[in-house]
A = this chain, B = another copy of it.
Amino acid sequence: MELRHLRYFVAVAEERHFGRAAARLHMAQPPLSQQIRNLEDELGTMLLHRTTRRVDLTHAGQAYLLRAREILASVSAAGEEAQRVASGLEGRVVMGCVGSATYSLLPALARALREELPGIDFGFRGEMLVPDQVAALRAGDLDMALLRPPIDDTRLAITKLRTDRLVVALPEGHRLTRRTRLRIDDLREEAFIVHAGRGRSAMDELVTSLCHEAGFQPRVAHEVAESSTLVAFVAAGLGIAIAPEPVRSLGVAGTTYRLLSGRSARIDLAAGTRADDDAPHLGRVLSVLQRVVASAGTLSA
């Protein structure tokens, strides 16, 4: 049994004439008759009812014609699908995102990806902490993660996407809101609200090191798991927080932001994948990602 048999049978069934079917198949009539006979012998069932005047499908032949067409279409589709997979136009990506980019970047990214790579099936998980992203990537639960370096894991490939400035989130009416820019030293007496998870996040490490540089130990008032909670706590007057500039886009009432000065008051956004993951579509996803990241998700350069 070969696809040839199906192609020949479909031709004869459609033409209802061996001669015309043979012409359509660019072959002579006798070998076509022979192949159809071989097919019927192999199936153990007559598919055609022949007279010299007319070729008719038997009931079995009618059923087989439907299936044969489906199979031939599947064979073509399978080849095309393989090509799309190879060229990175088809595939699945589950993408994780740190809290600070979840609300600003992820929606625009999801829209752009669905529009520009419609063949790729996306899953998104926002508000993830970096250590969880690393574990999920390695476990295969994520295929790509938008995270905050540094990442100390050689099994992951990290691509830097952009650098975000840092802002201080202040409750409305806070005394520091009178200033347009703040230095880290201005926060010496403040209560800090920080992220907490199963491990230290890059953002928290940075905040701690910035304070140490300025010669003080930050006073941690609350630990929260999500950026939205962080901002809500600030709005509630429970303390202040340092965050990447994109959290401004959360726009929670009662919170004001001020840029933090200093060369080191910056944090990178990067994309992480498994270093051994050579899925062809990841390259395409990454290039869309780089373009979207450059144009959206931050309010200034």
Contacts and interface: CB of A to CB of B under 8 A. Distances in A.
Interface of A: 1-4, 6, 42-47, 58-64, 67-68, 70-71, 74-75, 77-79, 81-83, 85-86, 90-91, 278-280
Contacts of A90: 63
A78 B64 contact: yes
Nearest to A281: B59
Specify the main secondary structure of chain A where it touches its partner.
helix
Give how many copies assemble into the complex. Answer: 2
Contact of A82 (B43, B75, B280): B43
Contacts of A75: 1, 6, 71
A4 B83 CA distance: 20
A60 B85 contact: yes
A58 B64 CA distance: 33
B83 A43 contact: yes
26 contacts: A3-B3, A43-B79, A43-B83, A44-B83, A45-B82, A45-B86, A46-B86, A59-B85, A59-B86, A59-B91, A59-B278, A59-B279, A60-B83, A60-B280, A62-B85, A63-B90, A64-B78, A64-B79, A64-B82, A67-B77, A67-B78, A67-B81, A70-B74, A71-B71, A71-B74, A71-B75
A129 B85 CA distance: 59
Given A67-B74, A74-B67, A75-B71, A83 B45 contact: yes
Given A85-B60, A280-B59, A1 B67 contact: no
Q: Can you list the 6 inter-chain pairs with the closest CB atoms, starting with the nearest?
A: A67-B78, A60-B86, A60-B82, A64-B82, A45-B86, A60-B85
A78 B86 contact: no
